[in-house]
């Protein structure tokens, strides 16, 4: 069984207003939300996370796919890539 700590990296406030409270209500510890790859990876170095919800488009240089790859390779953290106009896709 995986842990209950989820990193959230996304730039859409309306998405965050919906997803973060739902995760908390279901007993998850939410790390973030953050809007850039740099902030997401910095948080992952400070807090062990079990899963990441990552927006496809992030503020800054790197996109969500780059963050998902970095989280997997550095810490073994699986990610769900959240597309702007579609359902989440596992990475």
Q: Write down the pLDDT at residue 83.
A: 83
Residue 55 counted as domain residue: yes
25 is a domain residue: no
Residues in the chain: 91
Give me the domain span that covers residue 69: 1-11+30-80
Q: How far is 37 from 43, CA to CA, in rounded Å?
A: 10
The structural domain count of the chain equals 1
This prediction's pTM: 0.87
Residue 21 lies in a domain: no
Which pLDDT band holds residue 78 (cuts at 50, 70, 90)? very high
Label each residue of the chain as H, E or C.
CCCCEEEEECCCHHHHHHHHHHHHHCCCEEEEEECEHHHHHHHHHHCCCCEEEEECCCECCCCHHHHHHHHHHHHCCCEEEECCCCCCEEC
**What pLDDT sits at residue 3?**
79
In the numeric block, which tokens belong to residue 80?
């769900």
> How much of the chain exceeds pLDDT 90, in percent?
85
For residue 49, tell me if it sits in a domain. yes
Mean local confidence (pLDDT), 36-63: 94
Residue 70 lies in a domain: yes
- Note whether residue 22 is domain-resident: no
Distance between CA atoms of residues 33 and 12, nearest Å: 10
């Amino acid at each position: 069984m995986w842990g209950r700590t989820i990193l959230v990296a996304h730039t859409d406030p309306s998405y965050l207003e919906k997803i973060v409270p739902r995760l908390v209500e279901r007993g998850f510890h939410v790390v973030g939300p953050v809007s850039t790859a740099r902030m997401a990876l910095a948080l992952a170095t400070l807090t062990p996370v079990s899963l990441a919800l990552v927006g496809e488009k992030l503020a800054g240089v790197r996109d969500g796919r780059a963050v998902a790859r970095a989280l997997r390779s550095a810490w073994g953290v699986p990610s769900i890539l959240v597309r702007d106009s579609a359902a989440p896709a596992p990475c």
